[in-house]
Amino acid sequence: MLNAVFLDAATFGDDADFSALTNLPLSWQFHAVTSPAEVVERCQDCEVVISNKVVLNADTLAQLPKLKFIGVAATGMNNIDLAAAEKHGIKVQNVSGYAGTSLAQHVFALLTLVTNQLHKYAEDNRSQGDKNWSQSPHFCRLDYPIRELGSLTLGIVGGGVLGSTVAKVADALGMTVIYAGRKGERQVADNRVPWDDFLAKADVISLHCPLTADNAKLFSTAEFAAMKNDAIFINTARGGLVDEAALLEALDKGDIAAACLDVLSVEPPPKDHILLANPRPNLYISPHNAWASRAARQRLLGILAGHIKAFLN
């Protein structure tokens, strides 16, 4: 029987059911977390390795002669040296299409947090101050402006399953949806908008593309300056797509109205991370859990098990 190891099973939480994996004809080891120093030892005798975010670089892969299959328990594969894996004849397979519903729900939770300002109204009602509902001279309170989504244009960067699922929700809410063309290219496909026009037209921009060497810090000073000053910026993709210092500056200068992030450049972030150490009232950060409804996590494990089964066959 082949040996298999899941290096960071704790990323799936305490309520995940791993039976889709354990029912496979493999001898399993599950580790909650794995430090860089532990990777080689834990993978040494394994033909199958599962990693969500544990890095498997060229040096590590060169020390694992038995390894034949890496299952990435996520969509992004930037933690795997794909060229080194190919060199050693190791198949690498990620999981896509599992989190569309969960992520789209999170995107609109972040968006409506800004447009409806429910957190501010709820906080006022927890307090005993002048803006408590009981202090209103009439039946409601209108202290914070509410923006109606149906009047807004949603700009999507990336056109895969996640972006198109978000687009479907936006369409149901009456939003106009546009897709970004590649940065620097004026000639774009019929369903795309040239990059500069895209930045100028979108009231909301939501990122749904992988992080590559070519698009690191895709959004920096020039991009934020080109956006509408009442625009809302949402990133549930990868933190490295954003120049975080430039984002903070754009919020301070009023180049954009708000930013909603589910990802940062380093995860978990250090306490002195620029965006955590410099909180702003128009900056909203969730801890990379847009993907993580229990239903989505179980779908991911089911798809992952299917990939391993196909490999074994």
Cα separation, 65 vs 63, whole angstroms: 6
Which residue do the tokens 């450049």 mark? 265
What phi and psi values does residue 277 have, to the nearest 5 degrees?
-80, -10
Report the run of H or E that residue 42 belongs to, with start and end: helix 39-43
Which residue do the tokens 């397979």 mark? 93
What does the block give as tokens for 219?
Answer: 């959004």
- The packing angle between helices 100-116 and 118-126, to 10°, is 60
Active site amino acids: 238, 267, 288
**Contact between 236 and 207 (Cβ < 8 Å):** yes
What does the block give as tokens for 248?
Answer: 């903070």
What are the E-state strand segments in the chain?
2-6, 26-30, 48-51, 69-72, 91-93, 153-157, 176-179, 204-207, 232-235, 258-261, 283-285
Give 182's DSSP letter: P
- 229: left (phi > 0), else alpha (psi -120 to 50), else beta? alpha
**Contact between 67 and 46 (Cβ < 8 Å):** yes
